[in-house]
Amino acid sequence: MNEHGPLSGQSDNVVGTEFLSSLYAATKALQIYPDENQVVRDALAQLERLAADLIKHEGGLAVWLAGSFIFVNDLRVRVDLTDYATLAALRELLRGHGIGRITVSSEVTRSDWLGFLGLVGHPATPGAAALETFEEGLAEIGVSVIDVAAPAPLFNPQGEADTIEAARRTYASSVKAARDMMSNMVTGKAIGARRAERAILGLVDQVLQDPASILGMVTLRDFDDHSYIHSVNVAILSVALGDHLGFSREQLFQLGFAGLFHDIGKILIPPDVLNKKGWLNEEEWDKVSQHPDFGLLLLFNVEGFQEPPYRAMLAAYEHHMKTDLSGYPRVIRRRRQGLFGRIIAVAEAYDAAVSPHSKQFAPSSPDEVIRQLREAENNQFDQMVVKAFANMMGLYPVGTTVILDTGELAVVVAKNPSASALSRPLVRLVAQADGARIANGPIRDLTEADPATGKVSRTISRSTDPARYSINISDYVA
Amino acid sequence: MSMDDSDLLMDADHELAQAGASPLEDDGAGVREFITALIKAVRATQTYAEGNALIAQFVDSAAEQMATLWERTDHVTLTVDEDRFLWQDQTVYAKEIGPANLAFMFFRNGIRVISFLQGFEQDQLADFVAIIGAGLRGADEDLLATLWHRDLDAFQMEYVDVAEDENLELPQPDRNAGEGETIEDLEEIEDVVASGELPPDEEEAVAAITLSEADYAYLNREMEAEWLRPLARDVTLALLDQFEMRDVTRRKQVIDILREFLPLQFSKRDFSNVALIVTELQLLANKTGDEETQELVTSLLKDMSEAMAELVAEPEDDGGPGPEADEVRALADALQSEAIPTLIRAVPAVANQRTQHQLMEALDRLVQAHPESVQDLLISQDSVLVAESARIIGRLSLKSAEPALVALMERPDHQTRQAAIGALIQIGSAQISRLLKTALEDEHRDIRMTAVRALATLDPDAAAATLADVVTGTSIREREASEQMSLFKAYAEAAGPKAVPVLARLLNQRSWYGSRGAPTVRAGAARALGLLHDPAARKALDKAAKDKDDTVRNAVRVALKAHAHAPEADGPGAEEIE
């Protein structure tokens, strides 16, 4: 077995999923019951058996976390929504301890598993010391046949810079593709699906590889035309939510496609109406409210797929409907609003609310928008989708400007990898407490603890308006 | 753009190299051999038809070659150059740039690195080979997209966007923004810090957005429902809503879309959706009362009628399950006269009797409403179509089609003449007697027989005279025995006892040189006499009872048997015949 990365290995996906589920089940059992309880014993017996099988047939056993992927013996375990809750919980448990890799020796015994899982199920030490603490714990209980290590770097040695650069390229390319395709539609040309398809493939891969980097791009607002940015942003937010929920790659593709074209109907709305500042009169509103209708009809012009993009059509048509099918367009022949339409409705509402390009509203802080979405009328959005969206974004989404309890000013750059730290994102420091701006400020994990006191070093006091401090969010995030 | 897990692979290569543990420390011969075997397999897909056993053999051979690689390494990563594949900086495949160059095919699709992992050879290689084969054949597919969507477990790739504009302007955020500056207005920050303000109810807020297993289960169900969603049906409902709630301009847009959408539904044999569309459109058109809308709908239905008729009439075993009765009804009701030719051709072959009956009703309705449509078909050179059209005209007694039917009697193909004479009989043509007489001399037996039967039924007196001429004429001998028999029977039925003298003569009379007539003619006369139960007939038969000719004698025996079982009838006496 290769010791260097998730390269090879041949393992049945089912076996991999079974093993990971078993690992999690045993951990949970140990959290609830004493060691000698039958539930624990059964769970451990199954874990031992699966581990022994894998070691016997593949010469070893290693579990890797890489981005949103989990590998067992170097084979990526494909997670669908059925297993997602379990595997996402396991991933978060391991991440909480700073564990990115577990290597199990063939000499592992039940006692070793017992000790190891006991530590995994124990609350993690906040911050960077988590892995060190875990390793010390293993040493203390004498477990030497299970090794843990930090997550392997997902990207090449140039690291973050390259990832961000790739995300920027994907984003810019997608905006351009959206602009080109929609311009063609305005002139009545059919849209070749290939260009759109490539754009979505790139977005999906970027989300799968590093959701944080592409989510950061959503804060970019300096392109010429807001419509295209909004379309790409909704595609990104939707795909990121789909990924967060364990959608397959193909499902993500379809969701991204639907997101990119959800507002395609707006190209048929007169610009003076679409770009009007302030409230619309009845006639203007009648025009604007027909953009889902136009979206449905226009998407029949997409060529290159075996069938018309039905799912995208329906998402474009339904994204302003409420869950009870009120909203617009009016529904005469009743049917169920699709999940894609409900996801895009939330993504669209979020992006529109944080956008400085809104014609009717001043932009809101991302954390405020999350709160508003959660507090929206019950039928406005699918509240479970809103909950999942908020869970993905955290209480302080990427791009939120925050005042820390230290008096420092910062911008949220990523959700904390630990699922339980939803209020403690990663932030880039923008200004010191005395007001001095920090050039290329460092990124801080708000779960980091002061070694001296064991208490977290920084906590968000509140979000604030970046304009008040002349902060261009994308300078810090994108 | 770096995609998928390729970076991980590259990292690992780098680490392996650093560790001096490169697993394939040879000249790449194994990789070359694998690529050669792979190309042979791809070529096989181009040479042989899908499913040919030779393709599988070449794929197996490539799989074996690949399996030997796994004895020494866990993965093979190839860099794709314009004209070659590189493995660890060594060229392992090179060829002149062109459509047959495998590397070029990847390259022009934007694929820059490909990696094969263990397990690829087991169940993914064949799929991969088929995709590449299609790519080399020039199939109009995006290779990158195809491979991406196929999502092969043990295959990874790194790609760039080949359509990307060279001058693509990338956003350039300024990480050093505000360098050297100081925020002047610190009031808000100072207030926050001074008050020790922290967000309220943070734990509660976190709990409120933490997903439970039940939440995942709900989302899982919703995802499954989304995936099972009847997409075309829901799009149809949306289109119909648009048609109903908007103005005529929108209706026209919807109709234009349906011109493309309906044939797609036909090809999917989605009878239910097609039935819904045509039914609702007709209802909505009537509901609006708007003439333009009605014309729009009618125009669409006219354009779709032919295809709809084909759809319903298509044999079930060729295209999956057939339509339900209510679906056929809806489609049949929507058919316009444009469907007539298709229905005429297809209905006789419809296997499902219920469907056939429903379509027959629809056809009759259309023909009655548009008789000119079917009459126009009578000038077609398609003999099957013409014959079927004639039959329908006959069934529906469309008298206006008489001249066209009469003209058909001059057609060279007998099916057309047969159908035409049948139709003319059914509509009761004024010229029928003349036509039937002519038909009695038609070159085709079936037509003559039709004419014989019709003559006997329609105008017995005229038929008797005509048939007397036929049975006593010389041409009777040239006809087949069965036709002769039919002619004699028809004559007996038409003329009744009056035929006895003629028949008796034909049976028993000798010529001036003492010979008798042809045995088959005499036998026909005998059988006809058997139908005429009167003494003269009996006497004539008795006289021939011991005839030397077997054929005649047998016919007489049968006829006498018929007489034995029948009451005597009035007719000319035996003496009269003598």
Window from A471-475, B26-30, B387-391, B489-493 with minimum mean pLDDT: B26-30
Q: Please give the ipTM for the structure prediction.
A: 0.80
Q: What pLDDT shows up at residue B168?
A: 77
Q: What pLDDT shows up at residue A48?
A: 93
Query: How close is the nearest chain A Cα to the Cα of B152, in Å?
Result: 11
Strand A302-303 relative to strand A191-192: parallel, antiparallel, unpaired?
parallel
Residue B11 above 60 pLDDT? no
Residue A160 pLDDT grade (very low, low, confident, very high; cuts 50, 70, 90): low
Q: What pLDDT shows up at residue A74?
A: 65
* Residues of chain A with C-beta less than 8 angstroms from the C-beta of B216: 81, 84-85, 245
Residue B303 pLDDT grade (very low, low, confident, very high; cuts 50, 70, 90): very high
Taking an 8 Å cut-off on Cβ atoms, the answer to whether B19 and A4 are in contact is yes
Q: What pLDDT shows up at residue A453?
A: 83
Maximum average pLDDT range among B269-273, B455-459, B561-565:
B269-273
Higher pLDDT, residue B319 or B509: B509
When pLDDT is averaged across residues B152-176 and rounded to a whole number, the result is 81
pLDDT digits (tens, 9 = 90+) for B478-489: 888 888 888 898
CA–CA separation, B37 vs A247, rounded Å? 36
Q: Is B501 buried (19+), middle (13-18) or exposed (0-12) by CB count in 10 A? A: middle
Alpha-carbon distance values, B340 to A72, B222, B307, B316, B333 (Å): 65, 46, 11, 21, 13
Q: Give B499-544 as a DSSP string.
A: GHHHHHHHHH---TTS----HHHHHHHHHHHHHS-SHHHHHHHHHT
Alpha-carbon distance values, A107 to A58, A61, A103, A144, B417 (Å): 15, 11, 12, 10, 94
Residue A296 above 70 pLDDT? yes
pLDDT digits (tens, 9 = 90+) for A207-252: 988 888 898 888 887 656 777 899 999 999 999 999 988 898 999 9
Query: How close is the nearest chain A Cα to the Cα of B160, in Å?
Result: 9
pLDDT digits (tens, 9 = 90+) for B369-407: 999 999 999 999 898 899 999 999 999 999 999 999 999
Q: What pLDDT shows up at residue B13?
A: 42
CA–CA separation, A106 vs A125, rounded Å? 29
Residue A8 above 50 pLDDT? no
Query: Strand pairing partners for A460?
Result: A404
Q: Which of B145, B229, B241 faces A329 most closely, judged by CB atoms?
A: B241
Q: What pLDDT shows up at residue A72?
A: 84
Maximum average pLDDT range among A26-30, B318-322, B480-484:
A26-30
Buried b or exposed e, range A101-120, using 16+ CB within 10 angstroms: bbbbeeebeeebbbbbbbbb
The residue among B448, B411, B460, B407 whose CA lies nearest residue B429 is B407
Interacting residues of A161 by C-beta distance below 8 A, sequence separation 6+ = none
Residue A81 pLDDT grade (very low, low, confident, very high; cuts 50, 70, 90): low
Interacting residues of B254 by C-beta distance below 8 A, sequence separation 6+ = A297, B239, B240, B242, B243
Give percent of chain B with pLDDT exceeding 70.
Answer: 91
* Residues of chain A with C-beta less than 8 angstroms from the C-beta of B19: 4
Q: Minimal Cα distance from B190: which residue of A?
A: A407
Q: What pLDDT shows up at residue A284?
A: 94
Residue A166 above 80 pLDDT? yes
Q: Give B50-61 as a DSSP string.
A: TT-HHHHHHHHH
Is A358 an interface residue toward B (CB < 8 Å)? no
When pLDDT is averaged across residues B138-164 and rounded to a whole number, the result is 83
Query: Strand pairing partners for B376?
Result: none
- Tokens at residue A110, please? 């039940």
When pLDDT is averaged across residues A384-404 and rounded to a whole number, the result is 96
Taking an 8 Å cut-off on Cβ atoms, the answer to whether A154 and B206 are in contact is no
Is B250 an interface residue toward A (CB < 8 Å)? yes
- Chain A residues 126-185 with a CB less than 8 Å from chain B: 152-157, 162, 165-166, 168-173, 176-177
When pLDDT is averaged across residues A421-440 and rounded to a whole number, the result is 93
Alpha-carbon distance values, B355 to A471, B268, B361, B389 (Å): 73, 19, 10, 19
When pLDDT is averaged across residues B18-25 and rounded to a whole number, the result is 44
Higher pLDDT, residue B196 or A315: A315
Q: Minimal Cα distance from A248: which residue of B?
A: B151
Window from A59-63, A294-298, B104-108, B146-150 with minimum mean pLDDT: A59-63
Residue B574 above 80 pLDDT? no
pLDDT digits (tens, 9 = 90+) for B90-119: 999 999 988 889 999 999 888 999 999 888
Maximum average pLDDT range among B71-85, B313-327, B385-399:
B385-399
Is B228 an interface residue toward A (CB < 8 Å)? no
Residue A421 above 80 pLDDT? yes
The residue among B151, B234, B236, B273 whose CA lies nearest residue A339 is B234
Higher pLDDT, residue A255 or B577: A255
Q: Which of B7, B229, B245 faces A330 most closely, judged by CB atoms?
A: B245
Residue A21 above 60 pLDDT? yes
A vs B: CB pairs below 8 A: 315
CA–CA separation, B108 vs A408, rounded Å? 50
pLDDT digits (tens, 9 = 90+) for A246-271: 898 999 999 999 999 999 999 999 98
Taking an 8 Å cut-off on Cβ atoms, the answer to whether B220 and A81 are in contact is yes
Window from A367-376, B106-115, B140-149 with minimum mean pLDDT: B140-149
Q: Which of B180, B196, B241 faces A333 most closely, judged by CB atoms?
A: B241
The total of other beta-carbon atoms located within 10 Å of residue A284's CB is 16
Interacting residues of A231 by C-beta distance below 8 A, sequence separation 6+ = A178, A182, A259, A260, A261, A262, A263, A264
Q: Minimal Cα distance from A469: which residue of B?
A: B183
Q: What pLDDT shows up at residue A80?
A: 65
pLDDT digits (tens, 9 = 90+) for B357-369: 999 999 999 999 9
* Residues of chain A with C-beta less than 8 angstroms from the C-beta of B257: 297, 300
Taking an 8 Å cut-off on Cβ atoms, the answer to whether A436 and B186 are in contact is no
Query: Strand pairing partners for A321?
Result: A327
**What mean pLDDT is reported for chain A?**
86
Residue A128 pLDDT grade (very low, low, confident, very high; cuts 50, 70, 90): low
Alpha-carbon distance values, B219 to A84, A91, A242, B216 (Å): 10, 19, 10, 5
Residue B153 above 50 pLDDT? yes
When pLDDT is averaged across residues A422-450 and rounded to a whole number, the result is 91
CA–CA separation, A201 vs B341, rounded Å? 48
Q: Is the peptide bond before A329 cis (omega within 30 degrees of 0)?
A: yes
SS3 B85: strand
SS3 A9: coil
Q: Which runs of consecutive H residues, i.e. helices, occur in B19-77? A: 29-47, 53-69
Residue A11 above 90 pLDDT? no
Give percent of chain B with pLDDT exceeding 90.
Answer: 56
Residue B21 above 50 pLDDT? no
Query: Strand pairing partners for A456?
Result: A449
Is B165 an interface residue toward A (CB < 8 Å)? yes
Secondary structure, 3-state, B166-183:
CCCCCCCCCCCCCCCCEC
Higher pLDDT, residue B568 or B247: B247
CA–CA separation, A382 vs A405, rounded Å? 35
* Residues of chain B with C-beta less than 8 angstroms from the C-beta of A407: 189-190, 192-193
**What mean pLDDT is reported for chain B?**
87
- Chain B residues 72-101 with a CB less than 8 Å from chain A: 73-75
Q: What pLDDT shows up at residue A251?
A: 94
Alpha-carbon distance values, A335 to A100, A323, A338, B433 (Å): 45, 11, 9, 65
Name residue B59's amino acid. V
Q: What pLDDT shows up at residue B22?
A: 44
Q: Which of A8, A171, A374 faces B208 most closely, judged by CB atoms?
A: A374
Higher pLDDT, residue B92 or B319: B92
Query: How close is the nearest chain A Cα to the Cα of B202, in Å?
Result: 7
Is B281 an interface residue toward A (CB < 8 Å)? no
Residue B575 above 50 pLDDT? no
